Structure 1
Amino acid sequence: MRHTDSGPAGAFAVPAGTPAAPLDDPFDVMLVGWSFLSGGLLTAALDLGVFDTLGNGRLGAEELSLRTGLHARAGRDFLDALASLGLLVRRDGRYRNSPGAARHLVTGRPGYVGGFLRMTSELTGAGANGALTGLLRTGSARGQDADGEVPFTRIFHDPGRLRQFLSAMDAFSGAIAPGVSALIDWSACTTFADIGGGRGNLAAHVAAAHPHLRGTVLDRPAMRPFFEELAAERGVAKRLRFAEGDFFEDELPRADVLVLGGVLHDWSDDRRALLLRKAYDAVEDGGTVIVYDNMTDDARERASTLLLSVVMMLQSARARLFAPAECASWMCDAGFTVERTAVLPALTTAVVGRKI
Structure 2
Amino acid sequence: MKTENSNTQPNPATILQTGTGFWASKVLLTAVNFGLFTLLAKHSTMQATDIKTALKLNCSDRNIYDFLDTLTGLGFLNREGLLASAHYSNTIDTDVFLDKAKPSYIGGILEMMNNRLWNFWGNLEDGLRTGMIQNEAKNGGQNLFEVIYSNPELLKTFVNGMTGVQKGNFITFSESFDFSKYKTLVDAGGSAAVLSAMVAKNQPHMTCCSFDLPELENLATNTIKSYQVSDRVKVISGDFFKDNLPQADVITMGNILHDWDEETKLKLMQIAYDALPAGGAFVAIENVIDNDRRENVFGMLMSLNMLIETGDGFDYTFNDFNRWAKQIGFKSTSLLPLVGPSSAAIAYK
TM-score, normalised on structure 1?
A: 0.63
Q: Structure 1 residue aligned with 2:128, among 132, 136, 153?
A: 136
Amino acid paired to 1:289: F
- Secondary structure in 2 aligned to 1:255? coil
Corresponding residue for residue 298 of structure 2:
304
1:193 aligns with 2:181: no
Corresponding residue for residue 350 of structure 1:
344
Q: Structure 1 residue aligned with 2:287, among 257, 269, 294?
A: 294
CA deviations over 1:35-83 (Å, ceiling 9, x no partner): xx9xx9xxxxxxxxxxxxxxxxxxxxxxxxxxxxxxxxxxxxxxxxxxx
How far off is 1:233 after superposition? 1.4
Corresponding residue for residue 55 of structure 1:
none
Task: State how 1:50-199 maps to structure 2 within 5 Å.
Answer: 131-142=123-134, 144=137, 149-150=142-143, 153-199=146-192
Structure 1 residues 148, 226: CA separation in 2 closer, same or farther (over 3 Å shift)? Answer: same
1:324 aligns with 2:318: yes
Query: Contact 1:175 / 1:346 at 8 angstroms: preserved in 2?
Result: no
Corresponding residue for residue 4 of structure 2:
none
- Secondary structure in 1 aligned to 2:210? strand
Corresponding residue for residue 314 of structure 1:
308
CA deviations over 1:82-136 (Å, ceiling 9, x no partner): xxxxxxxxxxxxxxxxxxxxxxxxxxxxxxxxxxxxxxxxxxxx9x986222111
Amino acid paired to 1:312: M
Structure 1 residues 228, 163: CA separation in 2 closer, same or farther (over 3 Å shift)? Answer: same
Query: Contact 1:148 / 1:317 at 8 angstroms: preserved in 2?
Result: no
How high is the sequence identity, in percent, across the aligned residues? Answer: 26
Query: Contact 1:255 / 1:284 at 8 angstroms: preserved in 2?
Result: yes
- Secondary structure in 1 aligned to 2:201? helix
1:247 aligns with 2:240: yes
Q: Structure 2 residue aligned with 1:269, among 262, 268, 275?
A: 262
- Secondary structure in 2 aligned to 1:194? strand
Query: Contact 1:172 / 1:346 at 8 angstroms: preserved in 2?
Result: no
Query: Contact 1:152 / 1:315 at 8 angstroms: preserved in 2?
Result: no
Amino acid paired to 1:269: E
Q: What is the alpha-carbon distance in structure 1 between the residues aligned to residue 275 and residue 235 of structure 2?
A: 17
Structure 1 residues 235, 346: CA separation in 2 closer, same or farther (over 3 Å shift)? Answer: same
Higher relative contact order (CA 8 A, sep 6+): 1
Higher mean Cα deviation, 18-27 or 335-344?
18-27
| Structure 2 alignment gaps of length 5 or more | 1-13, 25-71, 77-92, 98-105
Q: What is the alpha-carbon distance in structure 2 between the residues aligned to residue 205 and residue 140 of structure 1?
A: 36
| Aligned Cα root-mean-square deviation (Å) | 3.3
CA deviations over 1:251-271 (Å, ceiling 9, x no partner): 111011111111100111011
How far off is 1:151 after superposition? 5.6
Q: What is the alpha-carbon distance in structure 2 between the residues aligned to residue 133 and residue 173 of structure 1?
A: 28
How far off is 1:177 after superposition? 1.7
Amino acid paired to 1:234: Y
How far off is 1:180 after superposition? 0.9
How far off is 1:185 after superposition? 2.0
How far off is 1:145 after superposition? 5.5
Q: What is the alpha-carbon distance in structure 2 between the residues aligned to residue 171 and residue 137 of structure 1?
A: 31
Higher mean Cα deviation, 311-320 or 258-267?
311-320
Amino acid paired to 2:338: L
How far off is 1:21 after superposition? 4.7
Corresponding residue for residue 197 of structure 2:
204
Corresponding residue for residue 122 of structure 1:
none
| Structure 1 alignment gaps of length 5 or more | 1-7, 41-125
- Secondary structure in 2 aligned to 1:342? strand
